[in-house]
Structure 1
Amino acid sequence: MATFTQDDLVRIMSQVAGESAEITSVADIADVSFGHLGYDSLALLETAARIEKEFSVILADDTFLAADTPRRLVELVTAAQGAAA
């Protein structure tokens, strides 16, 4: 199983948001809240679905929505990957 990285998250977030994404680079968004990036709960849930499908990891919706920044979300996903291994 491939380890989930911030680059993976940026790619998936860009796919979900399309052209309207405010994502310029991983370093720029790692500690910016999803709200400030323009991601609402529906966009985050779509991001979760894509992460689950691509990386075979499942997080409860409330756990996923509790991640307030991309860095925190990557930490939660990689922790879940480690627990599943």
Structure 2
Amino acid sequence: MEHLTLNQLLDILRDCAGEEEGVDLTGDVLHTPFTDLGYDSLALLQATGRIERDLGAALPDDVVAEAETPYQLLAVVNATRPVQAAA
């Protein structure tokens, strides 16, 4: 699995849930809470589902609840090994 970057994560969030007017995602948002960026738990659930499909990652069920910032979500995603195909 390739490492997910902040820009890739933000692109996925935009694709899944759009971008809230007045929120600048081009700035230093790595440690900004998702709620301040305009993303709720449903948006994160959609984004993590896409990350699992696109990157072959099996994310822990509680990842959305525990990851409050892009940094935290990236740390979990990039520490997770891809799903192994059955032989």
Interval of TM-score (by shorter of Structure 1 and Structure 2): 0.7 to 0.9
Query: Stretches of 4+ moved more than 6 A in 1?
Result: none
Is 1:31 the counterpart of 2:8 in the alignment? no
**Identical-residue share of aligned pairs (%):** 37
> Aligned Cα RMSD in Å?
2.0
Unaligned 5+ runs, structure 2: none
Aligned residues: 82
Structure 1: tracts of 5 or more residues without a match: none
TM-score by length of 1: 0.81
Maintained 8 Å contact 1:12/1:47: yes
Which of the pair is proportionally richer in helix?
1
Whether the 8 Å contact between 1:10 and 1:23 is mirrored in structure 2 is no
1:16 maps to 16
Q: Are the equivalent residues in 1 in contact too, given 2:20–2:37 (CA < 8 A)?
A: no
Query: What are the residue-to-residue correspondences of 1:1-85 with 2, within 5 Å?
Result: 1-20=1-20, 22-25=23-26, 27-81=27-81
- State the shift of 1:37 in Å: 1.1
TM-score, normalised via structure 2 length: 0.80
